[in-house]
Amino acid sequence: MKIYGDELTKNNGKRIPSREECDELMARYSMLPNIREHSIQVMNVSLAITDNLRKNFIIDRDLVIAAALLHDITKTRSLKTGERHDTTGGELLRDLGFPTTAEIVEQHVLLKNFDPNETLHEREIVFYADKRVLHDNIVTIDERLYDLINRYGKTETIRELILQNKGKVLAVEKKIADCMTVDLDQAIRNANENKRRHHRDKEGSGNTGESKKKRK
C-alpha cells in the first residue's frame, strides 16, 4: 500500500511540496545544473525502490520525491559558505512550511535513529539513494564513499566518519532489499536504463528536428 501526498495532507495535515514547487525552489535557490541532475537521479533511484516494495509497506511516494529532489537545496551556496547543507537545507524547508520533508533532508548525509527492525521509512530510502548516485551516475557504495573521502575528507576525523557511515549504509541496504519484490540492484539498473533511454529519445527528437530544418 502506498499513501500519496494529497491523501496524507488531508489525513494528518502534513504539507509536502509538489513536483512543480520543487522545481520552483530549485530555481529560486539557484541550484547548479549538476546538482539538479544529481537530485533528479537520486529521485529516480528512490522511486526504483519505492515502486518495488512489497504491498504491506506504507511509504509516501510524494514525500520521497520531494525529499530526493530537495535534499541538496542549499548545496550550491554551501560551496561558498562551507555550511552543513544537510542542516541548513532542513532549516530552510522548515521555514518554508515543509517540516516532514525537512526531517528527511536533515538526515540524508548521516542517518539518525536507525533501527533495522523497525518498519521502512522514507528517510532511509532517500539516504540510501543518495549513496548510490555520484554526480548523476549510479555507482556502487564503495565508489560513492571513495569520492566523498576524496572531496570532503580533509581531516582524519572526517575520513573516519565517512568510513563509519558505510556500515550504516550497508545495514540500510539490507533492510531495503528485504522489503522489495525484486532484486534491489536490478531495480536500480532498470531505473538507470530508463533514464538513458529517455535521453536517447530526446536526442533523437532533437536530431530529427534539425534534419527537418535543414531540408526546409
Residue 160 confidence (pLDDT): 85
pLDDT tops 90 at residue 44: yes
Written as one letter, the residue type at 177 is A
Give the residue extent of every domain in the chain. Answer: 2-197
Q: What b/e sequence results for 151-168 when a residue is b if at least 16 CB atoms lie within 10 Å of its CB, and e otherwise? A: eebeeeeeeeebeebeeb
pLDDT tops 70 at residue 199: no
Helix, strand, coil tally for the chain in percent (to 5):
70, 5, 25
Report residue 140 CA to chain centroid gap.
15
Written as one letter, the residue type at 119 is T
Report the share of the chain in percent with pLDDT over 70. Answer: 83
- Any idea which of 105-109, 178-182, 212-216 has the lowest mean pLDDT? 212-216
Contact predicate 188/45, CB 8 Å: yes
C-alpha grid cell, residue 115: 533501527
CA distance linking residue 82 with residue 48, whole number of Å: 32
In sequence order, what E strands does 129-207 have? 133-134, 137-138
| One CATH from 1.10.10, 1.10.3210, 3.40.50, 1.25.40 for 2-197 | 1.10.3210
**For residue range 100-157, what is the model confidence (pLDDT) as tens digits?**
999 999 999 999 989 999 999 999 999 999 999 999 999 999 999 989 888 888 888 8
CA distance linking residue 185 with residue 2, whole number of Å: 21
Residue 1 confidence (pLDDT): 32
Which is more confidently placed, 161 or 183? 183
- pLDDT category at 200 given cuts 50, 70, 90 is low
pLDDT tops 50 at residue 74: yes
DSSP 64-100: HHHHHHHTTTTHHHHHHH---HHHHHHHHHHHTT-HH
pTM score, whole prediction: 0.84
- Any idea which of 17-26, 64-73, 166-175, 198-207 has the lowest mean pLDDT? 198-207
C-alpha grid cell, residue 182: 525484486
Residue 3 confidence (pLDDT): 38
- Any idea which of 6-10, 116-120, 200-204 has the lowest mean pLDDT? 6-10
